[in-house]
């Protein structure tokens, strides 16, 4: 790569090349062969693969072995100093940078948001603050809805009126799109006729967010900007069997279930391809830009797939942990993604919780994940009828829980694999130097250096 190009960094979480190839009919760009390329990537993170780890590897240019970011809600201040994310590094080099939803971007201090062309933190942010301020209403509703629909979409749930109208006003003045408003009303009507289609609200939520990103991109035209979306990954986890039943030695669901949900991944990709079409059109009109789409890793059919009809959700994290510790503690809920939970507290309480976890057994899948001096994350998941823990000889039921029904009867029919996708589009693309490749794959921890070299 020998000529500096502005980069639109589209973080399309976990989408493998196979899904791209099956969605080509939705893409309308017309190019010469040299105007785009697909590059296979590989995550060399030697740990349990999860997006909060693999994206940290992409952004920081080192694998988990060095950055040690294993969970959402983890304090990254010291890590950011040692291995700064690409957006802060480029900003400090004097470039104009925009960030929209990249994982762990909420760790950046709020007072620095104004230095960016735009800054919309990730959906796990503990606050709705963002740049520009007029987008705060949309961001506030986005955070609220994401907390409510972490595992299921509740059909009868309606956001608080004040928050909803605040978001509507914010969306109208910041990124209004007639086509998206039409899709919102179409979705609501469709749910009345077919209630099971409420699962497509995640796609609509992503459509609204893309409107915000695309508006800010066109208005500010930064040198480098990011946009993260998880809606396709969510559909792949739940409905891979419906779309690709041939991937399973034994079909788990019946044909009625497969026929109902077989279009969910294509629907999510149809919306994604609409984003790509807009971005490639933008690049065609602004040839100083390149579009880079990265997945950080991929997914494929899971051999351990067991559908589930219910699960236990922790609705009161303080009460739940006090049951385990056996005394009153003071904690603050930290944003995370079910079945992971995170808390912020003091160093002494972290030690108490860690010690209590080592002393109990449970009929639920409950285990400590990561900790720092003032944060702690753990895994909790169960579809048992009753939940209890055993501490010594004493059995105790756990409080702070709510049993939730999974209407679509799913779990992870597909799961993470290290192989991912990197798609590049732009005028007169220059090839990435072969020195960055390893065994035919581009390691994801080397992408940061490729970006830096581009801007040098």
Instruction: State residue 439 phi and psi, 5-degree precision.
Output: 55, 40
**317 and 298 both lie in a single domain:** no
**197 and 152 both lie in a single domain:** yes
d(CA 389, CA 417): 33
**297 and 319 both lie in a single domain:** no
Spell out the per-residue pLDDT of the chain, length 456, in tens.
Answer: 456 899 999 999 999 999 989 988 888 766 666 688 899 999 999 988 999 999 999 999 999 999 999 887 777 888 999 999 999 999 999 999 999 999 999 989 999 999 999 999 998 888 999 999 999 999 998 888 876 655 556 555 567 788 888 888 888 988 888 988 888 888 889 888 888 888 888 899 999 999 999 999 999 999 999 999 999 999 999 999 999 999 999 888 999 999 999 999 999 999 999 999 999 999 999 999 999 999 999 999 987 788 878 888 888 999 999 988 888 999 988 877 778 888 889 999 999 999 998 888 888 888 888 888 888 889 888 877 888 888 777 887 788 888 888 878 787 899 999 999 999 999 888 889 899 999 999 999 999 999 999 998
Question: Looking at the 3D structure of the chain, how many domains does it have?
Answer: 2
In a domain, 23, yes or no: yes
In a domain, 1, yes or no: no
Q: Residue 244 pairs with which residues in a beta bridge?
A: none
**271 and 336 both lie in a single domain:** no
Instruction: State residue 370 phi and psi, 5-degree precision.
Output: -135, 160
pLDDT at 277: 94
In a domain, 410, yes or no: no
Which residues lie below 8 Å from residue 182, measured CB to CB, with a gap of 6+?
Answer: none
d(CA 159, CA 157): 7
Name the H helices within 96-174.
Answer: 136-148, 161-174
**23 and 162 both lie in a single domain:** yes
In a domain, 411, yes or no: no
In a domain, 224, yes or no: yes
**286 and 317 both lie in a single domain:** no
Q: What global pTM score does this model have?
A: 0.88
**Domain encompassing residue 334:** 310-405
In a domain, 131, yes or no: yes
- In terms of Cβ atoms closer than 10 Å to its own Cβ (0-12, 13-18, 19+), residue 57 is buried
**110 and 165 both lie in a single domain:** yes
What kind and span of H or E run contains 240? helix 231-243
pLDDT at 149: 59
pLDDT at 303: 76
**384-401 burial by CB neighbour count: b if 16+ within 10 A, else e?**
eeebebeeeeeeeebeeb
**348 and 208 both lie in a single domain:** no
Query: 399: which DSSP letter?
Result: P
**321 and 227 both lie in a single domain:** no
**258 and 382 both lie in a single domain:** no
In a domain, 59, yes or no: yes
Q: How many residues can be counted in the chain?
A: 456
Which residues lie below 8 Å from residue 80, measured CB to CB, with a gap of 6+?
Answer: 88, 107, 108
Question: Any idea what the CATH number is for the domain that residue 122 is in?
Answer: 3.40.720
**234 and 345 both lie in a single domain:** no
**427 and 329 both lie in a single domain:** no
pLDDT at 30: 61
């Amino acid at each position: 790569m020998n000529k500096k190009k502005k980069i639109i960094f589209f973080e399309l979480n976990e989408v493998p090349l196979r899904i791209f190839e099956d969605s080509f009919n939705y893409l309308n760009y017309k190019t010469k062969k040299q105007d785009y390329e697909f590059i296979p990537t590989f995550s060399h993170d030697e740990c349990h693969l999860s997006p909060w780890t693999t994206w940290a590897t992409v952004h920081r240019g080192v694998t988990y072995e060095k950055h040690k970011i294993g969970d959402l809600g983890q304090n990254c201040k010291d890590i950011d100093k040692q291995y700064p994310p690409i957006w802060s590094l480029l900003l400090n080099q004097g470039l104009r940078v925009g960030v929209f939803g990249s994982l762990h971007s909420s760790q950046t201090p709020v007072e620095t948001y104004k230095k960016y062309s735009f800054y919309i933190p990730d959906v796990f942010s503990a606050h709705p603050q963002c740049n520009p301020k007029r987008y705060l209403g949309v961001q506030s509703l986005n955070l609220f809805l994401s907390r409510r629909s972490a595992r299921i979409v509740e059909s009868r749930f309606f956001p608080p009126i004040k928050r909803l109208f605040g978001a509507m006003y914010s969306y109208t003045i910041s990124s209004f799109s007639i086509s998206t408003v039409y899709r919102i009303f179409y979705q609501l009507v469709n749910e009345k006729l077919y209630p099971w289609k409420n699962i497509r609200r995640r796609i609509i939520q992503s459509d609204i967010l893309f409107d915000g990103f695309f508006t800010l991109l066109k208005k500010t035209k930064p040198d480098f900007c990011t946009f993260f979306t998880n809606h396709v990954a969510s559909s792949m986890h739940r409905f891979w069997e419906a779309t690709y039943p041939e991937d399973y030695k034994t079909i788990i669901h019946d044909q009625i279930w497969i026929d109902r949900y077989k279009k969910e991944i294509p629907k999510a990709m149809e919306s994604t391809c609409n984003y790509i079409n807009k971005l490639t059109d933008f690049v065609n009109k602004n040839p100083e830009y390149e579009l880079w789409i990265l997945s950080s890793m991929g997914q494929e059919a899971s051999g351990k797939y067991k559908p589930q009809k219910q699960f236990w959700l922790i609705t009161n994290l303080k009460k739940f942990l006090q049951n385990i510790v056996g005394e009153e503690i003071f904690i603050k809920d930290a944003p995370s993604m079910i079945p992971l939970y995170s808390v912020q507290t003091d160093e002494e309480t972290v030690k108490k919780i860690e010690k209590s976890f080592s002393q109990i057994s449970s009929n639920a899948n409950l285990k400590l994940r990561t900790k720092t001096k003032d944060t702690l994350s753990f895994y909790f998941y169960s579809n048992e009828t009753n939940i209890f823990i055993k501490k010594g000889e004493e059995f105790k039921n756990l409080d702070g829980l709510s049993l939730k029904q999974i209407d679509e009867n799913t779990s992870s029919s597909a799961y993470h694999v290290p192989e991912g996708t990197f798609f590049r589009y732009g005028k007169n693309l220059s090839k990435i130097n072969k020195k960055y490749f390893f065994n035919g794959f581009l390691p994801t921890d080397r992408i940061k250096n490729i970006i830096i070299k581009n801007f040098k």
